[in-house]
Amino acid sequence: MKITEALEIFSQTHPGMVRSHNEDSVACEPACGLVVLADGMGGYNAGEVASGIAVSVVVTEVSHRLLNASPVERVYPHPDKTTSHSTKLSKDDSQVAGYNLSPEGERTIASSPLGGGLRRGLKNGEELGVSLLRDNIQKANASIFHAAQSQPQYAGMGTTIVSGLFYDNRVAVGHVGDSRMYRLRGEVLETITRDHSLLQEQIDRGMISVEDARLSKNKNLVTRAVGIDADVEAEIHVYDVLLGDIYLLCSDGLNDMVEDEDIQSTLYALQSNLPLAASQLIQMANDNGGRDNVSVILVKVKGKFAVPRGWPAKLLSWFEK
């Protein structure tokens, strides 16, 4: 299944009930399975500028690399063969690589000039997604940092970012700061990012319990942000994706105002109607006070998307150049 058909994506952003302008930015590129959300900070409109730069750099750079790379998938075995096992989602990438390597009497990878590279690439298929996110978050960081350096009104601006790149029945998740990605699988909602925030560090060190964390006055203090320093280290992980999963990317305007329990019940109850689920989440944040901008991106996995074997191959061709 094509990734555009396999994923249903919906995003919505709202300034909230208190703030006059919206410093969050969201962007989706369904053709690449890419979603990006950023929550900017900085005086005047600098926050919007920072989050805007972050999402546009990541989305344009990643999609440019993926969509404009030379199509080499024709060289490889027909996708149907590679995914004939796909009643189950592939969890083992060496197995996936194995399918590609099986000699079928046609042109196989082994005979292709890129064969060795592809094998390498497939075995570490996720590495390509990871490096794409890492490089481009770094690129966004540089753009924001330079803008902040060169224009006094933007001095000190920065942004959080959370991004998901879906490919090959997986998702690479990259984030910096306290914007989150949640996953609803079955009835269970999990936070799959860990905030880069003072509060999270205090929790990790056992200084404060998760229950007490709600009482803290030190919310919203991030320990990492994009565009503050010359370099940024994005945290990136790769997860297997299952049919029916729902991924929620959100700014802290949602999870500060709405309990995880309510997020869970909303996603679970409204999973068949993503636009309604998104507006319901935003409405709950606003009903509870809406003290911050609130943005959500929902991604529902409706089909398997292991097929695009050309996808890593395209990437590889890019890397080989």
Partner 1 sequence: MAAKLILSMDGAIIKEYPLNKERMTIGRKAHNDIAIDNLAVSGEHAAIVTILHDSFLEDMDSTNGLEVNGKPTKKHFLQNNDVIEIGKYKLKYINDQVTQTSPADFEKTMVLRAPVKQATPAPTANKPAEMHGFMQTQAGIKPTHEEAVEMTGKFEAHQPTVPAAPAQAAAPAKPAQPAKPAVSASAAAPQAGAPKQVAVVQVLTGPNAGKELELVKNLTTLGKPGMQVAVLTRRPQGFFITHVEGENFPLVNGQALTNQAHQLNEHDVIELAGVKMEFYFKG
Residues making contact with partner 1 (CB under 8 A)? 198, 202, 207-209, 212, 215-218, 221, 257, 259, 262, 265-266, 269-270, 272-273, 276, 280, 283-284, 287-289, 291
Q: Looking at beta carbons only, is 89 or 208 nearer to partner 1?
A: 208
Find the angle CA(56)-CA(53)-CA(23) to the nearest 5 degrees.
110
Tell me which residue has tokens 């609130």: 294
Structure tokens at 227: 């565009």
Q: How far is the CB of 206 from partner 1 (least distance, A)?
A: 10
Find out whether 35 and 163 touch, Cβ atoms under 8 Å.
Answer: yes
**Per-position DSSP letters for 258-317, written without gaps between them:** S-HHHHHHHHHHTTT-HHHHHHHHHHHHHHTT--S-EEEEEEEE-S-----THHHHHHHH
Q: How far is the CB of 161 from partner 1 (least distance, A)?
A: 24
Q: How far is the CB of 187 from partner 1 (least distance, A)?
A: 10
Q: Looking at beta carbons only, is 95 or 209 nearer to partner 1?
A: 209
Q: Looking at beta carbons only, is 131 or 220 nearer to partner 1?
A: 220
Q: How far is the CB of 289 from partner 1 (least distance, A)?
A: 5
Find out whether 29 and 299 touch, Cβ atoms under 8 Å.
Answer: no
Q: Looking at beta carbons only, is 102 or 265 nearer to partner 1?
A: 265
Q: How far is the CB of 54 from partner 1 (least distance, A)?
A: 26
Q: Looking at beta carbons only, is 45 or 279 nearer to partner 1?
A: 279
Structure tokens at 267: 């996603």
Nearest-angstrom CA–CA distance, 24 and 41: 9
User: Who contacts 282 (Cβ-Cβ below 8 Å, separation ≥6)?
Assistant: 12, 14, 254, 294, 296
Partners of residue 158 on adjacent β-strands: 41
Write the Ramachandran bin of 159: left for phi over 0, alpha for psi from -120 to 50, otherwise beta: beta
Nearest-angstrom CA–CA distance, 317 and 320: 5
Q: How far is the CB of 209 from partner 1 (least distance, A)?
A: 8
Helix (H) or strand (E) holding 180: strand 180-185
**Per-position DSSP letters for 155-172, written without gaps between them:** TT-EEEEEEEEEETTEEE
Structure tokens at 305: 């998307």
Q: How far is the CB of 30 from partner 1 (least distance, A)?
A: 21
Q: Looking at beta carbons only, is 226 or 267 nearer to partner 1?
A: 267
Q: Looking at beta carbons only, is 104 or 212 nearer to partner 1?
A: 212
Q: Looking at beta carbons only, is 97 or 294 nearer to partner 1?
A: 294
Q: How far is the CB of 217 from partner 1 (least distance, A)?
A: 3
Q: How far is the CB of 188 from partner 1 (least distance, A)?
A: 14
Q: Looking at beta carbons only, is 234 or 248 nearer to partner 1?
A: 248
Find the angle CA(280)-CA(293)-CA(297) to the nearest 5 degrees.
50
Structure tokens at 224: 């990492």
